[in-house]
């Protein structure tokens, strides 16, 4: 038995949800370039859950369900008010999603029908949790979700209390489409491992949120913004990046386990970043990001991943940097839950082996002789 570090190159499951072939990412066989340009996030979530694009009636029904379920239980809202205002937002989300199970009398029903409803409920409630905490920590009252608007629109409204402009809604909606699923990424794998023990969907999603939090995965988008803030101006980019490269430090938002010739999602976020800069009349963040890309790709041959340009996009949408990874979770909930449904459709516990590298044939030494 020989282990592969980080399970690189190991095919650990079959799945018909999303695929990566020759650098092309597709959801249910549809190229994400097409979806990013033309589909809404709600259509995309439907596609991931049900395996096909919705008709107008099916989409309207899903949107109604999302509106109906978007409020969160009163006791959970009360708990959010007790959390420290400087708490890590991913820790808040992880705790709140785990707590949601306590208010769902069907939490342990793992039938497909029940889990599908819970996936839609979680899709509706997670944006409400994040926006509520964002307001509570600023001493503001959380806002009730609007009815019959998109998740992107509702999230921006619940965060700011203002009607978001159409450009911001479109940009966030497109970012949600691009982050929705990604084959057997680390957090999806966590969700599948957890659910394969026949645990409940809340446990699977809680495990996935904890996994997404790390800076080598979803947490990289926040780390990119931290880097942009540290750099401060276009003039400082070169010395900062060359110094990092010389010290063999990781540059967040670059590199990928699967894509070695570029992440197909990055170009959409790059375009969005350029457009938002032009619209705002301030392209500093886009120009700094472009210069970083030029240097890192030129010097290290590494290309930007999905997290790199999303940092400047979200900042230009007025979103605080510690909400970037929770926004990733809003989107990826659709993929996680689709994988949970798929895993349970044909389940077997996930239990690989480890290659033992420790001592052998050791004798027990009684404690008084040690
Ligand atoms: N900056 C500098 N060097 C890098 C980077 C980076 N961002 N990424 C990879 N490298 C180098 C490594 O140091 C390593 O070099 P070496 O062979 O000389 O030691 C080589 O490229 C291979 O990299 P690994 O870390 O072994 O690649 P792995 O497939 O294990 O990791 C990962 C992929 C985690 C994405 C890595 O590229 C990374 O840490 N990137 C920065 C964090 C990041 O942006 N994460 C988001 C990924 S996308 C997502 O999860 C949504």
- Give the active site residues: 256, 307
Contact 16, 342 (CB under 8 A): yes
| Nearest alpha carbon to residue 134 among 95, 97, 85, 98 | 85
Confidence of residue 260 (pLDDT cuts 50, 70, 90): confident
Contact 321, 222 (CB under 8 A): yes
Over residues 135-154, the mean pLDDT reads: 97
**Alpha carbon of 340 to ligand 1 centroid (Å):** 27
14 burial class (0-12, 13-18, 19+ CB within 10 angstroms)? exposed
How far is the C-alpha of 127 from the C-alpha of 149, rounded, in Å? 13
Q: What is the DSSP letter of 254?
A: B
What atom in ligand 1 is closest to the CA of residue 305? 48
What atom in ligand 1 is closest to the CA of residue 217? 50
The long-range contacts involving 77-84, CB below 8 angstroms and separated by at least 24 positions, are 77/132, 77/142, 80/129, 80/132, 80/133, 80/136, 80/142, 81/136, 83/133, 83/136
Using the predicted structure, report yes or no on whether residue 1 has a pLDDT greater than 90: no
The per-residue pLDDT for 286 is 98
Using the predicted structure, report yes or no on whether residue 297 has a pLDDT greater than 90: yes
Confidence of residue 43 (pLDDT cuts 50, 70, 90): very high
Average of per-residue pLDDT values in the chain: 97
What atom in ligand 1 is closest to the CA of residue 5? 30
**Closest protein CA for atom 32 of ligand 1:** 256
**Alpha carbon of 291 to ligand 1 centroid (Å):** 19
**Alpha carbon of 228 to ligand 1 centroid (Å):** 19
Q: List the structure tokens of 13.
A: 């499951």
Over residues 206-234, the mean pLDDT reads: 97
**Closest protein CA for atom 34 of ligand 1:** 216
Cα–Cα separations (whole angstroms), residue 186 to 16, 261, 319, 365 = 17, 20, 25, 40
Q: What is the DSSP letter of 25?
A: E
Contact 209, 187 (CB under 8 A): yes
**Alpha carbon of 250 to ligand 1 centroid (Å):** 7
Sheet architecture: strand order including 30-31? 18-21, 24-27, 30-31
Over residues 103-113, the mean pLDDT reads: 98
- Is 220 touching ligand 1 by the criterion CB < 6 Å? yes
Chain-centre distance for alpha carbon 68 = 23
ipTM confidence score: 0.97
Over residues 178-195, the mean pLDDT reads: 98
Over residues 330-356, the mean pLDDT reads: 97
- Is 292 touching ligand 1 by the criterion CB < 6 Å? no
| Nearest alpha carbon to residue 337 among 187, 173, 115 | 115
What atom in ligand 1 is closest to the CA of residue 8? 29
For ligand 1, pick from 255, 266, 310, 328 the residue to mutate: most ligand atoms within 8 Å of CB.
255
| Nearest alpha carbon to residue 225 among 132, 162, 128, 318 | 318
**Closest protein CA for atom 31 of ligand 1:** 257
Over residues 178-200, the mean pLDDT reads: 98
pTM over 0.90: yes
**Alpha carbon of 263 to ligand 1 centroid (Å):** 13
Chain-centre distance for alpha carbon 230 = 24
């Amino acid at each position: 038995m020989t282990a592969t570090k980080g399970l690189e190159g190991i095919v650990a499951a079959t799945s018909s949800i999303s695929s990566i072939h020759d650098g092309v990412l597709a959801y249910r066989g549809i190229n994400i370039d097409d979806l990013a340009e033309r589909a809404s996030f709600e259509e995309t979530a439907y596609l991931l859950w049900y395996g096909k694009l919705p008709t107008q009636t099916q989409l309207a029904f899903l949107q109604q369900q999302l509106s109906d379920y978007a409020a969160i239980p009163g006791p959970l809202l009360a708990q959010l008010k007790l959390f420290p205002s400087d708490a890590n937002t991913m820790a808040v989300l992880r705790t709140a999603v785990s707590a949601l199970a306590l208010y769902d009398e069907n939490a342990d029903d793992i039938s497909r029908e029940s889990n599908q409803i819970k996936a839609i409920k979680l899709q509706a409630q997670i944006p409400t949790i994040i926006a509520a905490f964002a307001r509570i920590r600023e001493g503001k009252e959380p806002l009730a979700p609007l009815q019959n608007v998109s998740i992107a629109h509702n999230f921006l409204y619940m965060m700011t209390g203002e009607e978001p402009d159409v450009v911001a809604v479109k940009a966030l909606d497109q970012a949600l489409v691009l982050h929705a699923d990604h084959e057997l990424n680390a957090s999806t794998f966590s969700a599948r491992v957890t659910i394969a023990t026949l645990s409940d969907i809340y446990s699977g999603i809680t495990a996935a949120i904890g996994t997404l939090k790390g800076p080598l995965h979803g947490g990289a988008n926040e780390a990119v913004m931290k880097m942009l803030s540290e750099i401060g101006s276009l003039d400082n980019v070169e010395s900062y990046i060359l110094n990092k490269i010389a010290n063999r430090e990781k540059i967040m938002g670059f590199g990928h386990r699967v894509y070695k010739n570029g992440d197909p999602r990055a170009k959409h976020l790059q375009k969005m970043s350029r457009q938002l800069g032009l619209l705002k009349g301030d392209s500093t963040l886009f120009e700094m990001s472009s210069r970083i890309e030029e240097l890192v790709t030129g010097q290290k041959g590494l290309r930007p991943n999905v997290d790199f340009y999303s940092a400047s996009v979200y900042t230009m949408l007025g979103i605080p940097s510690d909400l970037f990874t929770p926004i990733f979770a809003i989107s990826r909930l659709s993929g996680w839950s689709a994988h949970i449904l798929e895993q349970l459709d044909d389940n077997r516990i996930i239990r690989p082996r480890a290659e033992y590298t420790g001592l052998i044939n050791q004798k027990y030494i009684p404690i008084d002789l040690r």
